[in-house]
A and B are shown apart, each in its own frame.
Chain A
Amino acid sequence: MTATLACTGLSKRFGDVLAVQDVGFAIAPGEAYGLLGPNGAGKTTTISMLVGLLKPATGNVTVCGTDLAAEPLAAKAKIGYVPQEIALYPELTGRENLRFFGRLFGLPRRELAARIDEVLDLVGLSDRADGKLGTYSGGMKRRINIGAALLHRPEVLILDEPTVGVDPQSRKAILDGVERLVADGMALLYTSHYMEEVERVCDRVGIIDHGRIVAEGTRHELVAMVGSADTIELMLDGDVDGAFDKLQALEGVVEAVRTGTGSVRLLAEGGRYVLPAIITAVDGRATVTAVEVIEPDLEATFLHLTGSKLRD
């Protein structure tokens, strides 16, 4: 079966920064794919190449088998792109914004009005559609921002951090709407800083760091990569070097990493049970000023693979 959206070997350089290197993945019809990465990982740059805004230095993109570089208009007609920033006209109403982009993207006039109503309903803004966009809340703008990408019934929806700066009510409306679209068979590429959103919405996740995809799989597969070990973050005060040596040798500790002058990260089987031993081991050399146990989940995997947390 042809993938709805596929890319291989994508790279892009900005001056000295290799923003994206050799990125490739494929999204099947009705599949939701999450791209998870810290700030500056290259998510937006990757998406810009997927939607034809940036020319890749290497690699290629196909949409439902159509090559983006060779037939840009045909390929783009199948993509619904939601930019990371709100990209709408503040002086127009929500409905007028939708009408403009719908017409621009070739919807027949007869069909357009009905389609706008459908989309407004989907994003839950039917009752506020005729207010000026400039007067909307951040969450409402985000919802129209998504709606504008849905008018032409794309095969794949590309969402670049769609819930940034959004109130809980709008976030729920957005996630519900996205899930409904995926259930109806739309392919989805979703990037976010919010682990729980990606876990909830996506079937498969690619973890991107420094422009490379460092791991890819279902949530289950990714979590299994760090095994059943818990991650323990410690903040120490005193003879940190001495304490670190002790911790490394401790039974149950699979891996120990110095992450800062006074901070240590341990990977340990049954973290909660090792904790008392950790405190004892450190005692006399250093005092533990803070401790955090992260059980195996996507967040822990992410931490393990990229060495950084999703949110600071």
Chain B
Amino acid sequence: MLRPLMSVAALELRTRLRDGTALVVALIVPIALATLFGLALGGDDPPLRATIGFVDLDRGEFSASVRREVMSNEQLKGTLTLRELPSRQEAQRSLDAGDIGSAIVFPQGFTKSVGAGSGGQVAVLTSAESPLAGVVANAIVDRISSVVDARTLAVRAALAYGVAGDRVKELVERNGAAGPGLSLADDPMEGGKIDLSVYYGSGMAALFAFFVVGASFRSLLTERRQGTLNRMRAGPIPQWTPIAGKALVGFGLGVVSVVATWASSSLIFGTSWGDPVAVFALLVAHVLAAAAITMLVASRAKTDAQADGVTMVVSFVMAFFGGSLVPLYNLPGFLQKVALLTPNGWTSTGLIRLAGSGGGLTTVIVPIGVLCAIALVAGGLAAAGFRKGLLG
């Protein structure tokens, strides 16, 4: 039983290693992309240090609460500095000069407008030179926006209900409808100390795992077209041998690819992804899920070209919604929920938790469990598909 399996695996491995593009996809591209993203967008070393301009033309409770929170937040201390500036023009000048990384502008009458139920707009000035400071400023403003939205809604409801205008504010605040108690206690980025290189490294590892394992299942379809699959199946070997042999190699190369991306990202940026055992276990679980999903694609595809196309689309969709391309905290709330439908989402959140918390295997036991469950379900569907199609 083992010998035929090894024969198939050996040929698959040899074919993959001979094929230069396979190596490029497995190793060079994910490492290169992770490095480029990390360099272009990642925090400087020492990590994140940003000065954000603060223009307060409103002098109301909202701006005051932001100022208070940023000053008193332990995790942001030494990382984030607010610089008070007199006007939007001045802020723009400082931004252009590179003195600040971004700026938040509270317009005149903001608090009053919100109190009247008309909402309000806080402006953010960003610069391409310091995207990270822009991300932070936007994250802060996002939080203000949700408070403002809730507040506006409550005020409008109260007004519609016939409450007198001068009593609305008191009524709304008394009933706890999102007062200006803006809190940055859990800071804008989950695990705020994480270098962005970890996001992009893990993202690329998660994305390319799909391509690397997918190529092995795709070659199953090439062999069907070539007739070699039927020749194998007509031989005295168990029906599953060709699939199992290829899965073995695809899985092995997938693990090599993600580990190489992990290792190179850690080395190049000098950042740790967290407890190595936990990181490895999580990455292996991700490759397992990716293998099952691409196997499912191959089991339903009619040709190898079709499998290629579908694998490409599936991989990118999973990568995008799972936070492999855009860090999850940049996505709106409902998309962060959608992320949990993809293996990439669980892998990203798991890795970020590991890097941020310094926890071990138990920290990521849930993501690993979910990834294994995804692998089980997709693998089961793939087996049924193969039984009906390829082996029917």
Contact = CB atoms under 8 A, between A and B. Distances in A.
Interface string A89-107: 1110000000011011110
A64 interface: no
Contact of B234 (A52, A74, A88, A91): A52
Contacts of B226: 87-90
Contact of A83 (B3, B4, B231): B231
Main SS of the interface on chain A?
A: loop
A23 interface: no
A146 to B, nearest CB: 12
Given A103-B3, A104-B7, A106-B3, A83 B230 contact: yes
Nearest to B239: A72
A74 B15 CA distance: 30
A105 B237 CA distance: 7
A55 B239 CA distance: 13
Interface in B1-44: 3-4, 7-8, 11, 15, 18
B228 interface: yes
Contact of B238 (A73, A81, A91, A152): A73
Interface in A191-237: none
Given A76-B236, A104-B4, A106-B236, A53 B11 contact: no
Nearest to B391: A53
Contacts of A76: 234-236
Interface size class of A (residues with CB under 8 A): 20 to 34
A91 B201 CA distance: 35
A293 interface: no
Given A73-B237, A105-B235, A89 B228 contact: yes
Main SS of the interface on chain B?
A: helix
Contacts of B3: 103, 106
Contact of A101 (B233, B235, B238): B235
B232 interface: yes
A106 B4 contact: yes
B37 to A, nearest CB: 35
B46 interface: no
Contact of B236 (A53, A55, A105): A105
A130 interface: no
Contact of B7 (A83, A85, A103): A103
A86 B228 CA distance: 8
B227 interface: yes
A197 B236 CA distance: 30
A21 B18 CA distance: 46
Interface string A132-162: 0000000000000000100010000000000
A41 interface: no
List the 8 closest pairs (A to B, CB-CB), nearest first. A87-B227, A77-B236, A51-B234, A87-B231, A76-B236, A81-B234, A104-B7, A73-B236
Interface of B: 3-4, 7-8, 11, 15, 18, 226-228, 230-238, 392
29 contacts: A51-B234, A52-B234, A72-B236, A73-B236, A73-B237, A73-B238, A76-B235, A76-B236, A81-B231, A83-B227, A83-B231, A87-B227, A87-B230, A87-B231, A88-B228, A89-B11, A89-B226, A90-B226, A91-B15, A91-B18, A100-B7, A101-B231, A101-B235, A104-B8, A104-B232, A104-B235, A104-B237, A106-B3, A106-B4
